[in-house]
């Protein structure tokens, strides 16, 4: 026997108690129809009370059926509360250590971001409708101004990063040997620039929109350490050293191995990392290496599964490897680029402006002043690079260890993906730097909680996905009721389904450790 929502052609939704026996479904009782979430929530809660009473699990002991019917009829929207986000995410918030931040509004904003990400106006509506917390939007904005305002001290953001770092250090076994750094862009639906929001190279392809750069530092497993925001037109490579220096000064981080992608590979960065005593593993763009190095790579004639080491003039090592998987991907992309060029050439849309080395335009050749053709020689010669990937390092690690460490950079790529999709860090409805920084601080905290929940599920070898777990919290309810005899007010968590109970038990057990 279970409760279901059944959409109607009129646009309403019916809430029913349904029994399944011998392969057929039978409607036991209908509790009416509704349109809004609040109406459906109230009807659904009444239905669950009814199901519990039929199973002998009444909220207030053994009572007769007519009294149960009377009780169900008295339940109002104000007595029902969605409790799942607080039971799951609120418990993890405290377990990680964020409960030390004595700001109730910060807690509510973080948990809301995990349960129902949206604008601050939508969050205020959610908190009132489902959590009975009344906030004026103006008070939320004032709090955001204070969240990252360091004029009176370090601010809450610094406390958040300290807590996240301490938890990451605990998770990875007490010592952070390697850190992963990467950047992404966050664009704004705005037409004008300011000191922070600037037009620049957009990783989202929104080159005409003002944007900011977000740099994030994580430990192994993607566990967060800290972040910083930069002007939208800054060169990506200029952000690495400031972030490392800031985190080292704040946490006494020491000198962990720095792992980052090829976007941070510049002579200035390599020199600065070496002078500061950092070891590093950075992705290399092998086709951008000097000709003598490219000639040596091709002369080696790597087969799939092989690696080679080439010393660079600055004393670092260039490790190159070749894999069948990457070769297939490179070959596919190269052939796809050729087909696009052929289509454009056939349509007559190619001009002299297309003769450049950007992307696959490098295969174009201009004969005389008007005749454009595809240089198949360049296309075939480029096949020699299929499957080759390079890594620059000044460490003493072996080749396989360098490649393995660099492959873990996907943790931070996943952190960006989770932030942009699950937590909807965009769109950002703010223009002031303090509020933008505060919004990202809330998302950073929510990410730490989401990652902790995922870790719990993996450790328990639970088949429930992180997305499914988030959905399950939305239908975990608490009912406030009055005892019929004593008239005392009580609260009770409604009976959960099997998956909800599994999530609740795993989180409760983990937080008691």
Residues 63 and 159 grouped into a single domain: no
**Domain-embedded: residue 127:** yes
Residues 112 and 59 grouped into a single domain: no
Nearest Cα residue to 186 out of 157, 213, 159 = 213
**Domain-embedded: residue 163:** yes
Dihedral sign for Cα atoms in the order 369, 375, 377, 382: positive
For the beta sheet containing 489-493, the strands, ordered from the edge strand earlier in sequence to the opposite edge, are 80-82, 477-482, 489-493
**Domain-embedded: residue 316:** no
For the beta sheet containing 2-7, the strands, ordered from the edge strand earlier in sequence to the opposite edge, are 2-7, 13-21, 24-34
Residues 42 and 117 grouped into a single domain: no
List, as one string, the DSSP characters of 267-278. HHHHHHHHHTT-
Residues 111 and 254 grouped into a single domain: yes
Residues 173 and 107 grouped into a single domain: yes
324, containing H or E segment: helix 324-347
Q: How many folded domains does the chain comprise?
A: 3
> Coil, strand or helix: which one is 13?
strand
| Rounded Cα–Cα distance for residues 28 and 502 (Å) | 27
> Coil, strand or helix: which one is 338?
helix
| Rounded Cα–Cα distance for residues 142 and 103 (Å) | 13
Residues 153 and 253 grouped into a single domain: yes
| Rounded Cα–Cα distance for residues 6 and 30 (Å) | 10
Nearest Cα residue to 495 out of 117, 174, 83, 212 = 83
> Coil, strand or helix: which one is 371?
strand
Residues 106 and 242 grouped into a single domain: yes
Helix axes 155-171, 137-147, angle to 10 degrees: 70
The pLDDT score that the predictor gives to residue 61 is 46
Nearest Cα residue to 475 out of 494, 490, 462, 450 = 494
Taking every pair of Cα atoms in the chain, the longest distance, rounded to a whole number of angstroms, is 99
pTM over 0.95, yes/no: no
Residues 133 and 242 grouped into a single domain: yes
The pLDDT score that the predictor gives to residue 60 is 46
**Domain-embedded: residue 404:** no
**Domain-embedded: residue 146:** yes
Nearest Cα residue to 186 out of 196, 172, 175, 174 = 196
**Domain-embedded: residue 251:** yes
| Rounded Cα–Cα distance for residues 184 and 152 (Å) | 30
The answer to whether 179 and 459 are in contact (CB under 8 A) is no
Structure tokens, 256: 């962990």
| Rounded Cα–Cα distance for residues 30 and 47 (Å) | 8
Residues 153 and 247 grouped into a single domain: yes
What does DSSP assign to residue 11? S
**Domain-embedded: residue 296:** no
The pLDDT score that the predictor gives to residue 156 is 86
**Tokens 């809301």 -> residue:** 112
Helix axes 498-511, 433-459, angle to 10 degrees: 100
| Rounded Cα–Cα distance for residues 486 and 488 (Å) | 5
The answer to whether 45 and 494 are in contact (CB under 8 A) is yes
Residues 145 and 34 grouped into a single domain: no
Structure tokens, 5: 């929502």
List, as one string, the DSSP characters of 379-390. HHHGGGGTTEEE
Contacts of 11-17 with CB under 8 Å at 24 or more apart are 11/35, 13/40, 15/40, 15/43, 15/44, 15/46, 15/47, 16/47, 17/47, 17/50, 17/51
**Tokens 């600055």 -> residue:** 314
**Domain-embedded: residue 299:** no
Nearest Cα residue to 393 out of 301, 296, 497, 260 = 260
Residues 207 and 113 grouped into a single domain: yes
34, containing H or E segment: strand 24-34
Note down the domain range covering 12: 2-76
pLDDT in tens, the chain (513 residues): 788 888 888 889 998 888 877 778 888 888 888 887 767 777 887 787 777 766 655 544 444 555 556 666 666 666 778 888 999 999 999 999 999 998 899 999 999 999 888 888 888 888 887 777 888 999 999 999 888 865 544 578 888 989 999 999 999 888 888 889 888 888 888 778 888 888 888 877 788 888 998 888 888 888 888 888 888 888 877 888 888 888 888 888 778 899 988 877 788 888 888 888 889 999 998 988 889 999 999 999 899 999 999 998 888 899 999 999 999 999 999 899 888 888 877 777 666 555 555 566 666 666 655 567 777 888 888 889 999 999 999 999 999 999 998 988 888 888 888 888 878 888 888 888 888 999 999 999 999 999 999 999 999 999 999 999 998 998 888 888 776 666 777 788 888 889 999 999 999 999 987
**Tokens 């479904």 -> residue:** 25
The residues, any chain, with a CB within 8 Å of residue 84's CB and separated by 6 or more, are: 115, 472, 473, 474, 475, 476, 477, 500
Residue ranges with strand state E in 317-418: 317-322, 364-367, 371-374, 388-393
Residues 416 and 336 grouped into a single domain: no
């Amino acid at each position: 026997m279970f409760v279901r929502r059944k959409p109607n052609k009129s646009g309403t939704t019916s809430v029913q108690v349904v029994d399944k026996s011998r392969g057929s479904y039978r409607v036991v009782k209908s509790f009416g129809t509704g349109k809004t979430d609040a109406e459906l929530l109230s009807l659904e809660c009444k239905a669950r009370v009814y199901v519990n009473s039929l199973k002998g699990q009444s909220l207030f002991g053994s009572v007769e059926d007519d009294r149960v019917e009377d009780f169900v009829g008295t339940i109002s929207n104000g007595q029902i509360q969605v409790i799942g986000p607080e039971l799951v995410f609120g418990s993890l918030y405290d377990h990680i250590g964020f409960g030390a931040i004595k700001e109730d509004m910060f807690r509510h904003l973080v948990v809301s971001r995990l349960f129902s990400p949206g604008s601050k106006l939508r969050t205020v509506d959610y908190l009132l409708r489902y959590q009975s917390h009344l906030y004026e939007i103006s008070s939320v904005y004032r709090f955001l101004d204070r969240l990252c305002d360091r004029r009176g001290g370090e601010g809450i953001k610094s406390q958040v990063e300290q807590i996240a770092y301490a938890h990451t250090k605990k998770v990875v076994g007490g010592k952070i040997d390697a850190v992963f750094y990467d950047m992404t862009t966050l664009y704004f639906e705005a037409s004008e620039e300011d000191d922070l929001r600037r037009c620049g190279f957009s990783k989202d392809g929104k080159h005409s929109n003002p944007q900011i750069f977000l740099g994030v530092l994580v430990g192994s497993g993607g566990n967060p350490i800290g972040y910083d925001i930069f002007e939208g037109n800054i060169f990506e490579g200029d952000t690495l050293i400031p972030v490392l220096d800031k985190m080292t000064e704040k946490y006494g981080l020491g000198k962990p191995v720095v792992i980052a992608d090829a976007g941070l590979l510049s002579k200035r960065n390599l020199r600065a990392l070496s002078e500061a005593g950092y070891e590093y593993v950075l992705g290399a763009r092998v086709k951008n290496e000097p000709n003598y190095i490219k000639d040596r790579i091709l002369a080696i004639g790597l087969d799939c599964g092989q690696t080679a080491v080439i010393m660079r003039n600055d004393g670092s090592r260039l490790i190159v490897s070749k894999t069948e998987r990457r070769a297939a991907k490179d070959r596919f992309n190269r052939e796809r680029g050729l087909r696009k060029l052929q289509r454009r050439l056939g349509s007559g849309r190619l001009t002299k402006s297309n003769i450049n080395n950007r992307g696959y335009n490098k295969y174009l050749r201009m004969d005389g002043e008007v005749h454009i053709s595809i240089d198949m020689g360049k296309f075939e010669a480029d096949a020699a690079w299929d499957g080759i990937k390079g890594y620059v390092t000044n460490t003493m690690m072996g080749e396989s260890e360098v490649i393995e460490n660099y492959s873990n950079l996907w943790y931070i790529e996943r952190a960006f993906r989770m932030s942009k999709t699950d937590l909807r860090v965009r769109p950002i409805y703010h223009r002031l730097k303090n509020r933008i920084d505060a919004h990202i601080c809330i998302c950073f905290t929510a990410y730490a909680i989401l990652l902790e929940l995922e870790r719990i599920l993996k450790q328990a070898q639970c088949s429930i996905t992180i997305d499914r777990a988030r959905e399950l919290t939305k239908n975990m309810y608490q009912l406030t009721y009055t005892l019929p005899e004593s008239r005392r007010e009580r609260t009770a968590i409604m009976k959960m389904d099997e998956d909800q109970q599994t999530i609740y038990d795993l989180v409760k057990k983990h937080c008691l450790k």
